[in-house]
Amino acid sequence: MSIEIDRLKAGHKGDNGGSAVSREDGLENAGSERGQAFRSLEEIATALERGETTSVALTEYFLNRIATFNTQLHAYSETFADACLRQAAACDAIRHSGQTIGPLHGIPVAVKDIFDIAGLPTSAGSTALHDRVPEQSAFAVQRLIQAGMVVIGRTHMVEFAFGGWGTNPVMGAPRNPWDPSQHRVAGGSSSGSAVSVAAGLAPVALGTDTGGSVRTPAVWCGVIGLKTSHGLIGRGGVVPLCGTHDSVGWFSRTVRDSALLLNVLQGADPRDAANARVAEIDALAEIEHGIANMKIGRLVDADLAGVDPDILRLHDEALEDLEALGATIAPIHLPLSIADYLKSGGDIMSYESFRALGQYVEAESSPVDPTIRGRIMAGKSITDDAYRQTLQRRLEAQAEFADRIADYDALVMPGSHIVARTLTDVDESVPPNFYGRVVNFLDLAAVAAPTGLTSEGMPAGIQIVVRKFDDALALRIARALEKHRGGLVHVPAGY
């Protein structure tokens, strides 16, 4: 199934970025209107299978929600109203003929504006990248369409994905839906994708993660976020930032939904060398098997210095729940300090981003935001020798960590050390998340899972970190916690 895109800039038509379509009750047989926006992929798939709704009705419904909320939230940079409705109608026709493509057939999905879509410019959150008009869509987008999903629109992000706060002075910063009184950031760089799922503007959304770019927004917006193993999901057609660390990820409302996407998005991507000869995994095969007799690590107290007390309390409660489910919790020492991961990971990102994006920032007249420009330009002064030394140190740290975690199944650490800040309180010179770059630097996979609300009424969360290609195990642990708690993701007021 091909995708043709008629672009509708979010915020232009009806001031809210979606066409105000005629039927707002397209899911009339599936519960209250508010509940319809926050159903899981599995619940939506069941409604489609039973004939309680159609793909066209679903698509119209989410377009209307975008039209209602996007001016406030700034989650979408553009929607594809006419094209996605045609695609949805084609899905319905296939279903009417008695066929389906798979479990996600006919369900809408949002995509971060770093993934190519054939024939359309990819902005990557910048006005500088005007010359990227691809002939083919990104591998991940192709896989979504092959699975029968309906690409409803593209989401805002930090410029060139080089930032964790979720700000973007050039294109505008998405607003965290959990604070109705003031503009709090959503986390970056996949900010709009996290907001779209948290506020019920899409059931699921694609993002990328180079140093926490899925996990920080997931934790700050209170949804599930999966940072996949480097190489597991092909990155062909993704605007590069740092090839050593870049990985595809996504946001969902349940752990099983994340596993469904993982199964769909795997495959051989000839445009990504890191994906060569990577064996596919079945994320659902053992997801309900529980965690009895597992050994799960927790950080030593020194590595938890500076964590907000509320976040640490919720983190410890989650560990207690995992222990109650049969896991043994024991401390584990990271091979480097938190400051080392931030510095060394940042150096690799700057060096590689300058080689990938330097042409867009070197000129004084560059339209790139000065903060992002500075991060990329910093890579120009990093010598090849210094870069190689950092990569060698990374390999040594990975080997040491492998030894330390040899007797463990996973490691739990805070999803972030702070809650989402107001836009006016953001200081771009300090890290938004002490625990973002650790996972990329050590070449691991991780699930970000909500742990509840702090005294400020803002979401907090943990990361369940596993060895490379143990993504299914991370989901299994998160699923056990989700079942124990009767769900992890909740709905912010007003949506």
Residues identified as active-site: 112, 189, 213
Closest-CA residue to 133 (of 272, 5, 248, 234) = 5
**23-27 contacts: CB < 8 A, separation 24 or more?**
23/57, 23/60, 23/61, 24/60, 24/61, 24/64, 26/53, 26/54, 26/56, 26/57, 26/58, 26/60, 26/61, 27/52, 27/53, 27/57, 27/58, 27/61
Residue 123 tokens read as 């902005």
- Helical segments of 206-303, H only: 215-221, 255-265
**Virtual CA dihedral for 203, 214, 121, 9, nearest 10 degrees?**
50
List 206's β-bridge partners, or say none.
Answer: 111, 250
Do the Cβ atoms of 113 and 156 come closer than 8 Å? yes
Do the Cβ atoms of 176 and 423 come closer than 8 Å? no
Strands (E), 293-338: 295-299, 328-332
Do the Cβ atoms of 188 and 426 come closer than 8 Å? no
How many residues can be counted in the chain? 495
Do the Cβ atoms of 159 and 168 come closer than 8 Å? yes
Exposure string over 134-151, b if 16+ CB within 10 A, otherwise e: beebbbbbbbbbebbbbb
**Residue bearing tokens 């907001």:** 195
Closest-CA residue to 254 (of 11, 490, 48) = 490
What are the backbone dihedrals phi and psi of residue 65, each rounded to the nearest 5 degrees, phi first?
-65, -40
DSSP H or E segment with residue 60:
helix 55-73
Give dist(CA 63, CA 202) in Å, integer.
Answer: 9
**Residue bearing tokens 């051989």:** 268
What are the backbone dihedrals phi and psi of residue 184, each rounded to the nearest 5 degrees, phi first?
-100, 145
Tell me whether residue 317 is exposed, middle or buried, using C-beta atoms within 10 angstroms of its C-beta: 0 to 12, 13 to 18, 19 or more: middle
